[in-house]
Amino acid sequence: MQQYLELVDATLSDGAYKPNRTGVDTISSFSEHYEVDLEEGYPLLTTKRMDGYRWNSMIHEVCWYLSGEAHIRNLREETKIWNAWADDEGRLDTAYGRFWRRYPIPDGDARLEGESWPEEAHRWVTTEADGRRTFDQLQYVIDTLSDSPNSRRLVVNAWHPANATVSTLPPCHYSFVFNVQGDRLNCHLTQRSGDVALGIPFNIAAYALLTTVIAQQTDLVPGTFAHTVVDAHVYCGRGERGEWYAENLRKLQSRLSDVDERAEYLAVREWLESEAPAEADGDERLDHVPGLLEQLSREPLERPTLAVADVPIDDLSYDDVELRDYESHDGLTFSVAE
């Protein structure tokens, strides 16, 4: 998918050096945006291996979002990608699926005079076991797409300001909007923070799958996936290795601006490895720049396709999603900044 390579290049070429809460520094760029036409195939990256265990992690992550579960006790049986942010009981303070399927509705005194709120018996309201009321945003979108496909209110929002302020990891991909044009179901995702090497390839695959599933449920065809990433960043290492970029980013960017052909990114990588201090023991591959330069040197292959069983979103499971005609370059390994 060429758009991803352009996102990587733009983040490195236009970004600024930016330390952050993880202690692993970044090269960060403001407001990156791209669009992919899902009718031209499924945008799983081909410039690194995304099938096998990565595919397994991604599908189980999407099924976990759809489940609305507030914990990862089932998800962690399938993949470890969320373990670092959960406690031993699998409790996780990040509200993705939980808010997609069960967004809290204010009750009693929390409701101000004159505000409109749905009744208990309303179509998308659930009364939880503890008596709280919640709203199923995803089912609202699916039902409204069938009844009023021209609606401009097809928003799913995972951001609750009061919760986000105190959460250990507030949602990164926090709001998405569906929009129908003709028979095409388009999806626009806003992400406040995007880890270009590790998170974004999963986010692209997940939302392209979600759009495909919802199109199938509503007799539409998957259209454009549009993605805005407010802080798009490439992690560039910890300690001396990260700080090297503070002084040397301009030199890296000047070399990047001289690249005419993909293969030349490899020479930039060689220069970088010869100039930058080695990553400390235990910090290997927290600098994502060399791996991404290698990825930039690779030509995207033909896009695969997706076949999804026609089952309601509540029943979707790993075996319902089939990846067809996928070929890729070799895998690339990056370490995750916690």
Ligand X SMILES: Nc1nc(=O)c2c([nH]1)NC[C@@H]1CN(c3ccc(C(=O)N[C@@H](CCC(=O)O)C(=O)O)cc3)CN21
CB of 249 to ligand X, least distance (A): 20
Closest to ligand X by CB, 40 vs 327, is: 327
Residue 63 binding ligand X, by CB under 6 A: no
Q: Could you tell me which of 2, 1, 46, 8 has the C-alpha nearest to residue 232?
A: 8
Residue 149 binding ligand LAUPNLSC, by CB under 6 A: no
Q: Could you tell me which of 5, 8, 22, 12 has the C-alpha nearest to residue 250?
A: 12
SS3 content of the chain, % helix, strand, coil (to 5): 35, 25, 40
81 binds, among ligand X, ligand LAUPNLSC, none (CB under 5 to 8 A by kind): ligand X
CB of 135 to ligand X, least distance (A): 25
Does the annotation place 238 within a ligand binding site? no
Closest to ligand X by CB, 30 vs 53, is: 53
How far is 190 from 313, CA to CA, in rounded Å? 22
Backbone angles phi, psi at 131, to 5 degrees: 90, -15
Reply yes or no on whether 172 is catalytic. yes
Residue 96 binding ligand X, by CB under 6 A: no
DSSP state of 78: T
Q: Could you tell me which of 208, 145, 156, 211 has the C-alpha nearest to residue 180?
A: 145
How far is 49 from 78, CA to CA, in rounded Å? 19
336 binds, among ligand X, ligand LAUPNLSC, none (CB under 5 to 8 A by kind): ligand X
Pair 229, 200: CB distance under 8 Å: yes
Q: Could you tell me which of 29, 25, 28 has the C-alpha nearest to residue 240?
A: 25
Chain center to CA of 121: 34
With CB under 6 A as the contact rule, the residue among 81, 95, 180, 206 that binds ligand X is 81
The residue sitting closest to ligand LAUPNLSC, measured at its beta carbon, is: 199
Closest to ligand X by CB, 28 vs 217, is: 28
User: What is the bridge-based pairing of β-strands 173-181 and 16-18?
Assistant: unpaired
Of residues 40-99, which lie at the interface with ligand LAUPNLSC (CB under 6 A)? none
- Number of residues forming the site for ligand LAUPNLSC (CB under 6 A): 11
How far is 60 from 318, CA to CA, in rounded Å? 7
Helical segments of 40-95, H only: 53-67
- Number of residues forming the site for ligand X (CB under 6 A): 16
Q: Which stretch binds ligand X (CB under 6 A): 111-119, 194-202, 287-295, 314-322?
A: 194-202
Of residues 167-226, which lie at the interface with ligand LAUPNLSC (CB under 6 A)? 169, 172-173, 193-195, 199-200, 203
Bind-site residues for dUMP: 21, 152-153, 192-195, 203, 233-235
Contact positions vs ligand LAUPNLSC (CB under 6 A): 20-21, 169, 172-173, 193-195, 199-200, 203
Q: Kindly list the catalytic residues.
A: 172
Residues contributing to the site for ligand X (CB under 6 A): 53-54, 57, 79-82, 85, 169, 195, 198-199, 202, 334, 336-337
